[in-house]
Structure 1
Amino acid sequence: MTLLIVIVILALIFDYINGFHDAANSIATIVSTKVLTPFQAVIWAAFFNFVAYFIFKDHAVANTIGKTVHQEFITLPVILAGLIAAIMWNLLTWWYGIPSSSSHTLIGGFAGAAISHAFLTKGFSNIATIIEIKKITEIILFIFLAPLIGMVISIYISVITIMRNTWAKIGLIILTAIGTWFLFAHFEQTKLEENLVNFYKIDILKKELAEDPTKAANYASAVAFTDAAKPMLADYKSLGATKLAEKIKTNVDGKVDAIALSKALAKGDNSIIVYGILIMIFIFICAYIYSEKIKSPNAYRTGRMFKKLQLISSGAFSIGHGGNDAQKVMGIIGAAFVAYNSTKYPDVGVALKELSWVPFACYTAIGLGTMSGGWKIVKTMGTKITKVTPLEGVAAETAGAFTLFMTEQMGIPVSTTHTITGAIIGVGATKRLSAVRWGVTVSLLWAWILTIPVSALLAGIIYLITSLFLK
């Protein structure tokens, strides 16, 4: 129990460090464009970091983090070594003002410590038996995809913004809104299916079946109920979680707890995110019409408009930052409880459901960390990559926020640092390629690439050392 408490405390400390290490991601542009003072900006960002607690209820990213290592190799000493390595690397990169990824540091540390544990207990093993290759591959892939997506979206927003034909501009924005609606509807449907599978504990029962063939009937009935209920999920929007759960109880599984099922399904609801994005789009449309049609357009008025819009875009990015990064620590704490008592907490999802204080604590810690700021990295992000105007700040933050919302829905833990950096590069490249300081960008890219292997190596060494004392 003592080691578990130490791990929880260290995880929350990491979350706090993550907050001030990554504070620059959401406030760099708003500070560099002088929309808010540094003090005002960190309060603004911290507030929206915590607002994410009320928005992201499915914990998809947390589940992914907790399942990057096979459960057999998740032990409390492994998690401890991974956390210590992550904290050390985070502090080192913060000290030198390098905007590396806190999340990839955590993932690398977790995997590296698990590999060391496997080596000590089983000798040389196939790495696929230690870590979840598919999940790690997705995470590594998004080291490159997240900034690329952020860059493409920021270029798209910048191009739309500088278009002279107001109505063509608004038409493109409306088409974008429609595309967003369908994209997030797809994400919601996928989440509903995942939540249904988790509710019937398909993965847990499958694991039990592998250990005990006599439990085949339990697994078969759970799969049958899940398969029969899946087609009904298409009615979620029209019925809502409560009525849909009652429908499943009536037509599929008469013994199911409809209240518990409705709560499980409701976690996949992304209506708040979709409506938030659509409200942002509506505000942008109104701002364009006001500044370009109702009032005579001029540089001063346009600049003022984008400074006001930057408050919205930076708030949205801070929500994405909180929702993405706090969940990573939730996943580690959940994994610690699984390692401590796998009977009571068979997987991370169950642990986080039972331990309702964990999400609250993680969102609070990252918010407090953000309030502490990270001024060295603010300087790099806000000025060294490219000089950012209010218009470009809005484009970069909006692109970053959309990317974070999208990847959170996919359950893929991405780096907020990589995402906003790619978006800032995009707005710089929209002006001209020479506006981006590519020397700085290449240095950042090397820091990104090295983060996972370096933190994994560091965690592996720390695990070997701590294993001498923790028997």
Structure 2
Amino acid sequence: MDALTTGVVIALLAVLVAEFVNGWTDAPNAIATVVSTGVMTPRSAILMAVVLNTLGAMSGTAVATTVGQGIVTPSAMTIPAITSTMVAIIAWGTLAAKLGIPVSKSHALLAGLAGAGFAGGGFDALQWHGWQKVGIGLVCSILIGFIIAVLLVRIIIRIAANASPHRAKRTFDYLQMGSAAFMAFNHGLNDGQKFMGVFALTLLAGGVTDEFSIPWWVILICAVTMGIGTSAGGWRIIETIGNKMARLTSWQGFAATASASSTIFVASLYGVPLSTTHTITSAIVGVGAGKRVSDVRWGVLRRVVMAWVLTFPSCALIAYVAALIANHLWA
């Protein structure tokens, strides 16, 4: 019993460390454009992101339920398997942050769950109805965010073509701040909830609870942990997303964050887990291409996409091997 209790505590701490890494390396995507355009200072943007990420994470459980119950069969997720999944996410996210590459912690988490679940229960452990939502989220994050951004750019250019430059910039500065705030809120609403689901799954696997549920204190702990992680900054990711991929003005920054945040918000309402990293990146590319294709730095984008492609198999393999070893040692 003592070993079980210790294992549960270690697993829960690993979930919270992964949530911290999520706030540190993923939340900067929400404020990258508003910082790069100079509309907000880095410190004020991070403070805003900390508050709104936390509030967003406390505003629902639909995505948490999908991740905790709909991705792998709970019975296949042992305490060692869950810990292994978190190790994969922490390692991958930290490496990417050091290199300044914005990778998806959502896909790292889902891949880790798949790898660890497969180690414990084979293909039968994978719940395909949940993976259908993952597929929908992938389409939404890459295509829908891009399409909305292109359309919004065209609309803004047509409406504001004859406006006073000074007045237009001032208006879009305020609009960008508002859309960045909404983006930060939605990051919490979608990404923050994912780790709540894993936290609740850990309580179930460890015998702390008899059924899957997400009590208020789990929501609070995970939300605050992600908020603390957000306060760490993630400057290199902000630089990559906000400056290296495309040079944005405030109206373009508004178009990108408005497109991405609206996509994430709708997906969150239906419990669809998607990647905020993919969504904001696709929206920025859409904004750049909507005005002029040459505005996008395609070399930087290729580097980012390569990291996206490597995320799923890398995290799945790490979690699979780690879970096999851990499950054997635990048995």
**Which TM bucket (shorter chain)?**
over 0.9
Equivalence for 1:146: 141
Q: Output one character per residue of 1:221-255: Cα deviation in whole Å (capped at 9) or x when no partner.
A: xxxxxxxxxxxxxxxxxxxxxxxxxxxxxxxxxxx
Give the Cα separation in 1 of the matches to 2:21 and 2:73: 27
- 1:445 equivalent to 2:305? Answer yes
Check conservation: 2:33, 2:242, Cα contact below 8 A. yes
Check conservation: 2:289, 2:295, Cα contact below 8 A. yes
The CA deviation at 1:441 is 1.7
- 1:14 equivalent to 2:18? Answer yes
Give the Cα separation in 2 of the matches to 1:96 and 1:466: 29
The CA deviation at 1:81 is 0.7
Check conservation: 1:143, 1:448, Cα contact below 8 A. no
- 1:377 equivalent to 2:237? Answer yes
The CA deviation at 1:317 is 0.2
Equivalence for 1:333: 199
Give the Cα separation in 1 of the matches to 2:187 and 2:74: 28
Equivalence for 2:46: 42
Q: Output one character per residue of 1:3-52: Cα deviation in whole Å (capped at 9) or x when no partner.
A: 11111111111111111101321111011101111111111111111222
Give the Cα separation in 1 of the matches to 2:64 and 2:313: 21
- Moved runs in structure 1, 4+ residues, more than 6 A? none
Residues matched between the structures, number? 326
Q: Output one character per residue of 1:56-98: Cα deviation in whole Å (capped at 9) or x when no partner.
A: 23x1111111121112312111111111111111111111111
- 1:97 equivalent to 2:84? Answer no
Any unmatched runs of 5+ in structure 1? 119-124, 167-291
Q: Which amino acid aligns with 2:36?
A: S
Equivalence for 1:177: none
Any unmatched runs of 5+ in structure 2? none
Check conservation: 2:153, 2:291, Cα contact below 8 A. no
* Residue among 279, 288, 295 paired with 1:419: 279
Equivalence for 2:211: 346
Q: Output one character per residue of 1:155-182: Cα deviation in whole Å (capped at 9) or x when no partner.
A: 222222122489xxxxxxxxxxxxxxxx
Give the Cα separation in 2 of the matches to 1:49 and 1:71: 27
Q: Which amino acid aligns with 1:21?
A: T
Check conservation: 2:93, 2:105, Cα contact below 8 A. yes
Q: Which amino acid aligns with 1:438?
A: W
Q: Output one character per residue of 1:366-423: Cα deviation in whole Å (capped at 9) or x when no partner.
A: 1111111101111110111111110001111111110110110121110110010011
Equivalence for 2:130: 135
CA 1:381–1:165 in structure 2 vs 1: closer, same or farther (change >3 Å)? closer
Equivalence for 1:111: 114
TM-score for the superposition, normalised by structure 2: 0.94
Q: Which amino acid aligns with 1:317?
A: M
Q: Which amino acid aligns with 1:407?
A: A
Supply the RMSD in Å over aligned alpha carbons. Answer: 1.7
- 1:78 equivalent to 2:73? Answer no
Q: Which amino acid aligns with 2:281?
A: T
- Output aligned runs, 1:275-294, within 5 Å: none
The CA deviation at 1:53 is 4.2
Equivalence for 1:163: 158
User: Greater CA radius of gyration, 1 or 2?
Assistant: 1
